[in-house]
Amino acid sequence: MDQEDRQGAGGQGESPPEGSQGEDVTAEKPAHEEDNPIQEGNEGSDTNEEGNSNPVFTEIPPSQNTQESPVTASPEPAPPGTPVRTFYELSGTPPMAPGLAMKHRVFKEEPPKIVYLTIDDGPSENTVHILDILKQEEVNATFFVIGTQVERYPELLKKAYEQGNAIGNHTYSHNYSEIYQSPEAFVANLKKNEELIYKLIGVRPKVIRTPGGTHGNFHISYYNAVDAQDYLVYDWNVSTGDASAPLVPAETLIKNVKEQAPGRDRIILLMHDAPGKWTTVDALPKIIRFLKEQGYEFGVLSPEVAPILFPGGFYS
């Protein structure tokens, strides 16, 4: 991946403020982190209401909603069968959802088969092993990082970026009761993480993932608030399922990908770099090799890449 693509992932590739390059911002673990462990997202697939593959959106079958969000995290989920509403168009035509004020965007052409590995909730003690695997397999990923974890492992964030991976924003706290108080609170949490990342690597990530995914968590005003700040939201359409339990066997994670990937030419794959997710590390080489065998090319997310979003994931 060239430098232009990675600067695109960050939105702005300017140098950090003088005196901040290489700055160690390691901080003590925030008190709320003990009381509010990292909360993980739901898994889904990507068929529309007719059952056809959709390159942008993902349907979430109830059988695959394996992660429950805390009651403070979301409004009542949309009922099954909620019609797909177009937020982003691959053709670049304007959004059509009533009340949605998202910008007109045109996204880049992609190879016939493309997969974007996305790794949430780090950095952690597992990150160094994940980076070794990515380097060995000669692929890159997008790391959606949490600010409290960045403070604990600043050097791993820098190493991930220097190795050619993209960095995305997964909020500073990942604390549902904080971030889903209001659109303003959500954006403020993103901004806090953005500044932290900028001090370390000199880019301001504009690709974001919402804790728990957008389904059930995002009022339409949240989309408008993040769009006003030039953020782009990315859900997923294939998941390892490593968020469905504290520790899922590596064989199960591999099986989940092998079952969900066939028939999809465009994949955003969800996995986690949270503390203790060592089976994800064990499964990663086999997942990458399987996807290579299926003919996928590997890419990283940037504002030029069309998002995949869960339909019905907003509330007007």
* pLDDT tens readout for residues 79-135: 333 333 333 433 333 344 556 666 678 899 999 999 999 999 999 999 999 999 999
Does residue 302 belong to any structural domain of this protein?
A: yes
Q: pTM of the prediction?
A: 0.74
Q: How far apart are alpha carbons 191 and 187 in whole angstroms?
A: 6
| Structural domain includes residue 180 | yes
Kindly state whether residue 249 falls inside one of the protein's structural domains.
yes
Print the domain residue range for 270: 39-63+84-92+113-315
Q: Does some domain include residue 78?
A: no
Catalytic: which of 5, 46, 120, 121?
120
pLDDT tens figures, 242-288? 999 999 999 999 999 999 999 999 999 999 999 999 999 999 999 99
Q: How far is CA 7 from CA 23, 96, 144, 223, 236, in A?
A: 20, 29, 15, 23, 22
Neighbouring C-beta atoms of residue 313, cutoff 10 Å:
28
Q: Is 170 among the catalytic positions?
A: no
Q: What angle do CA 8, 154, 41 make, to 5 degrees?
A: 70
Whether 273 is catalytic is: no
Is there a domain that residue 22 lies in?
A: no
- Whether 76 is in a domain gets the answer no
Within a domain: 263: yes
The CATH code of the domain that includes 184 is 3.20.20.370
Structure tokens at 89: 């168009």
Give per-residue pLDDT as tens, 129-143: 999 999 999 999 999
Whether residue 102 is contained in a domain is answered as no
Beta strand 114-120 with 266-272 is parallel
- 56 C-beta neighbours (distance < 10 Å), count: 21
Q: Could you count the other beta carbons within 10 Å of the beta carbon of residue 46?
A: 27
The torsion defined by the Cα of 238, 198, 131 and 69, in degrees rounded to 10, comes to: -40
Higher pLDDT, 291 or 58: 291
Q: Pick the catalytic residue: 227, 242, 272, 273?
A: 272
d(CA 210, CA 139): 24
Range from 59-63, 139-143, 170-174, 280-284 carrying the lowest mean pLDDT: 59-63
| Structural domains counted in the chain | 1
* pLDDT at residue 41, rounded to an integer: 40
279, containing H or E segment: helix 278-293
